[in-house]
Amino acid sequence: MPAIRILSDRVANQIAAGEVIERPAAVVKELVENSLDAGATRIGVEFRHGGRSYIRVEDNGAGMTKDDALLSLERHATSKLVETADLDRLGTFGFRGEALPSIASVAHFELHTRPAGAAAGTEVVVNGGKLVHVRECGVAPGTCITVSHLFNSVPARRKFLKTDATESAHIIQTVRLYALACPQTAFTLVEDGRVLFQSPVCSTLAERVGEIFGRSMAADLLPVEIAEAGLQLSGLIGKPVVSRATRHEMLMFVNRRPVDSRTLNYAVIESYATSLARGRYPVAVLFLELDPAAVDVNVHPAKREVRFRSEGAVRGFVIRAVLHCLREFGAPAPVVESMNTKGRAASPFAAAPYQPSQPFITSPPAPGIMAQPFRPFTRIPFTAETYPKSSSPIVPDSSPAAPAPPPSALRNPAMLMGWRFLGTAHGDYALFEAPGGIVVLDRRAAHECVWFERIRAQFARREVASQRLLFALPVELDAIASALLTDRLAFLHRHGLEVAEFGRNFFRIEAVPVWLEPADAEIFLRDVIGLMREGRLDENKTELAREELARLAAQKAVRLPPAVNEAEALVLVAQLFACAQPHTSPAGRPTHFELSRGELARKFQR
């Protein structure tokens, strides 16, 4: 057995770097946190080639003396902790003393610093963990750290970095988070010599949100300011009509620290449960202030995860605060998830009592249908030639018309399984009398199932018809979304959605598939980007990517008419059972269920 020995400081620093510095954005995060802890009111960040070759962070903070500069490169050397009890009253972003030695061990590291009262500054140069020199230099008060050739001493780590666009996007997102956390600090961000983001000191969070995410987004947010029993919640939340397909625009801060907290995220999501459709998420920039002793930030190497001493109390407080804000705005009581004729969730502000569109029994049974014994349904190949087109399609004329069955199909009991159409209930459900009982069909789920197979087949054949827009739709995205979209513009173009770059983080939607309403184009694009963020649109896995895109497209393609007649209902049944998976929708929801005659008899105690 090999002998046990103590690792050298250089090896220990490189091991620590594996936990603390996993990508260039982590370097920027640690250096910006140090600048904020030093009291900086102006921070400049510059990087090149996604941070691989060059990162510089400069501030006007307190600066360091020569002794402190050298000591800062030692492991666990920090000015923010003295004893263990200090962990219970942390008021700074950093506290472990691992960032600078970890960075210096895996890159070429230069430190220039000077306190405000010193005559000269200090320059420290370290290359791959080895001290090169220490000398005096002329520098403005504050600290400037330059990191170049990141991971030059651990080349295997460089292989795990993504493209320059992706790494740049993570750096931009990191700087924006800390710019949101500290509106009173001016931030400048420069990539490859080009200024990406420059925000002066802002007096309010709304001003900083407008500077970072655009005035249009800031106009759709509501202010929150509530305090209760040692807890204070402030910030901005989206109006109920504003939603996203993912949680990436829910930004949470605890004591001004950007965090990923399941407690806070789910509290906000639960608050919007009656205001947003299922599967949609709100936009939020929320700051929770509480006693530092009531939260543990020493949970994750990157300090993004936190634990609350009383999770239930925090969760309940956030829910009450957000609900109070939504009620003041006029958000409704719980609404039933229904869809309007254009396929979008009905507005919660226009809720109306249900009125049946037609009597339950709309037509007498076809002669001879119920006299036939029940036989299993025979699957019909779903092709364009199966049924001739009808002048009364199921979907509006803006999308490809749904075919109607020939008269012989309505008279064939084997084809229709002996089902007799009774009517609709609550708009979304079609009722049928079957030989074995009553069948309830979810019209939306059935349509999604049919559209999913149709669109997926179009993708596979590369025969996606698209329509050019008379006026291109402008879309402004954040840095990460822009990078993801830029890498997949050709993929989207091949699938009917034509998007063109129109400046930094600006795009134009120039053409959409024929099954997509132009008014829904921006929402659909943001939902597609949400799939990209979650890694579900990987171009290297073409079939899976097409299936995910078709699943999302099927939801947007359905435009459910408020009423349906017998012929249309039977066409839908025929189309549904011609699908490969007729019993569940692409989202996994059941398309229909049957109440047997025995169950009905038991319900009525017969």
Give pTM, 2 decimals: 0.66
How many angstroms separate the Cα of 481 from the Cα of each of 63, 455, 463, 525, 532?
A: 36, 25, 27, 10, 8
CATH (domain of 311): 3.30.230.10
Q: Which pLDDT band holds residue 295 (cuts at 50, 70, 90)?
A: confident
- Compute how many other C-beta atoms are within 10 angstroms of the C-beta atom of residue 310: 13
Domain identity same for 71 and 122: yes
Q: What is the pLDDT of residue 562?
A: 76
Same domain, 14 and 155: yes
Residue 151 lies inside a defined structural domain of this protein = yes
What integer pLDDT is reported at residue 404 of this predicted model?
A: 44
In 3D, which of 105, 97, 103 has the Cα closest to residue 8?
105
Among the ranges given (40-49, 294-303, 564-573), the one the predictor scored with the smallest mean pLDDT: 294-303
Residue 142 buriedness (CB in 10 A; 0-12 / 13-18 / 19+): buried
CA atoms within 13 A on the CB side of 39: 9
The answer to whether residue 501 sits within a structural domain is yes
Of 178, 203, 228, the last residue of a domain is 203
- DSSP helix/strand/coil, 434: strand
Residue 20 pLDDT more than 70?
no
What's the one-letter identity of residue 164?
A: D
Average pLDDT over residues 310-315: 92
- The reply to whether 269 and 398 lie within a common domain is no
Name the 3-class secondary structure at 481.
helix
Average pLDDT of the chain, as a whole number: 79
Residue 345: inside a domain = no
Residue 459, domain member (yes or no): no
Cα–Cα distance, 70 to 75 (Å, whole number):
11
Query: In which domain, by residue range, is 324 found?
Result: 220-329
Evaluate if residue 398 carries a pLDDT over 60. Answer: no
- Do 53 and 139 sit in the same domain of this protein? yes
Cα separation, 496 vs 513, whole angstroms: 5
294 found inside a domain: yes
472, 508 contact by CB (below 8 A): yes
Radius of gyration (C-alpha) of the chain in whole angstroms: 30
In a domain, 210, yes or no: no
Q: Which of 152, 188, 159, 157 is nearest to 172 (CA)?
A: 188
Identify whether residues 84 and 118 lie together within a single domain: yes
In this structure, the answer to whether residues 478 and 443 fall within a common structural domain is: no
Q: Are strands 186-191 and 42-48 parallel, antiparallel or unpaired?
A: parallel
Q: How many CB atoms lie within 10 A of CB 438?
A: 16
Q: What is the CATH number of the domain that holds 569?
A: 3.30.1540.20
Nearest to 63 by CA among 139, 9, 128: 139
Question: For 85-94, which contacts have Cβ atoms below 8 Å and span 24 or more sequence positions?
Answer: 87/296, 87/298, 88/292, 88/293, 89/292, 89/293, 90/255, 90/292, 90/297, 91/255, 91/292, 92/37, 93/33, 93/34, 93/36, 93/37, 93/257, 93/303, 94/30, 94/33, 94/34, 94/37
pLDDT recorded at residue 285: 94
Measured CA to CA, the distance from residue 573 to residue 486 in angstroms comes to 41
Q: What is the mean pLDDT of residues 556-574?
A: 84
Domain boundary among 203, 228, 262: 203
Q: ∠ CA(26), CA(166), CA(246), 5° rounding?
A: 90
In this predicted structure, the answer to whether residue 141 has a pLDDT above a threshold of 90 is yes
The strand ranges marked E within 240-386 are 250-254, 257-259, 284-289, 295-296, 307-308
> Do 116 and 251 lie in a common domain?
no
Asked whether the predicted pLDDT for residue 292 surpasses 80, the reply is yes
Instruction: Identify the sign of the CA torsion 515, 517, 520, 525.
Output: positive
Instruction: Please state, in angstroms and rounded to a whole number, the distance separating the CA atoms of residues 447 and 559.
Output: 9
| 185 & 237 share domain | no
Q: For residues 177 and 480, give the distance between their C-alpha atoms in angstroms, rounded to a whole number.
A: 12
In a domain, 121, yes or no: yes
Q: Give residue 534's pLDDT.
A: 76
How many other β-carbons are positioned within 10 Å of the β-carbon of residue 418? 20
DSSP H or E run through 44: strand 42-48
Nearest to 167 by CA among 297, 29, 25, 303: 25
- 356-375 in b/e burial notation, b at 16+ Cβ within 10 A? eeeeeeeeeeeeebeeeeee
> Do 299 and 229 belong to one domain?
yes
pLDDT in tens, 317-367: 999 999 999 988 875 444 433 333 334 333 333 333 333 333 333 333 333
**Hey, how many other C-beta atoms are within 10 angstroms of the C-beta on 518?**
15
pLDDT surpassing 80 at residue 413: no
Number of domains in the chain: 4
Chain center to CA of 50:
22
Phi, psi of 10 (to 5 degrees): -65, -45
When pLDDT is averaged across residues 266-287 and rounded to a whole number, the result is 89
pLDDT, position 587: 83
Residue with the bigger pLDDT between 510 and 347: it is 510
Q: Closest Cα to residue 169, out of 189, 152, 149? A: 189
User: In sequence order, what are the beta bridge partners of 54?
Assistant: 48, 148
What are the CA-CA distances from residue 529 to residues 245, 247, 341, 383 (Å)? 9, 12, 25, 32
What average pLDDT score do residues 16-41 get? 85
pLDDT category at 497 given cuts 50, 70, 90 is very high
State residue 15's pLDDT score. Answer: 56
Here the CATH number for the domain that contains residue 533 is 3.30.1370.100
Alpha-carbon span 140 to 121, nearest angstrom: 8
Helices (H), 106-249: 155-158, 164-181, 205-213, 215-219
Q: Coil, strand or helix: which one is 301?
A: coil
Q: Average of pLDDT values for 371-388? A: 37
Q: What is the CATH number of the domain that holds 89?
A: 3.30.565.10
The secondary structure of 514-536, three-state, reads: CCCCHHHHHHHHHHHHHHHHCCC
Percent of the chain exceeding pLDDT 70 equals 78
Domain match, 95 and 154 both: yes
The number of residues making up the chain comes to 606
Residues near 503 by beta carbon (within 8 Å), at least 6 away in sequence: none
Tell me what pLDDT residue 436 has. 86
Per-residue confidence (pLDDT) for residue 64, from 0 to 100: 92
Most confident of 151-165, 237-251, 310-324, 573-587: 310-324
* For the chain, percent of residues with pLDDT exceeding 90: 30
490 compared with 378, residue with greater pLDDT: 490
Q: Supply the pLDDT for residue 343.
A: 40
User: What pLDDT is attached to residue 275?
Assistant: 86
User: Residue 70's CB: how many other CB atoms inside 10 A?
Assistant: 16
Residue-wise pLDDT for 69-117, tens only, equals: 998 888 766 765 555 555 566 667 766 678 888 899 889 999 999 998 8
Answer yes or no: are the C-beta atoms of 424 and 537 closer than 8 Å.
Answer: no
Q: Is residue 531 included in any domain, yes or no?
A: yes
Q: Is 181 exposed, middle or buried (0-12, 13-18, 19+ CB in 10 A)?
A: buried
Do 393 and 294 share a structural domain? Answer: no
Residue 426 has pLDDT above 50, yes or no: yes
Asked if 402 and 310 sit in the same domain, the reply is no
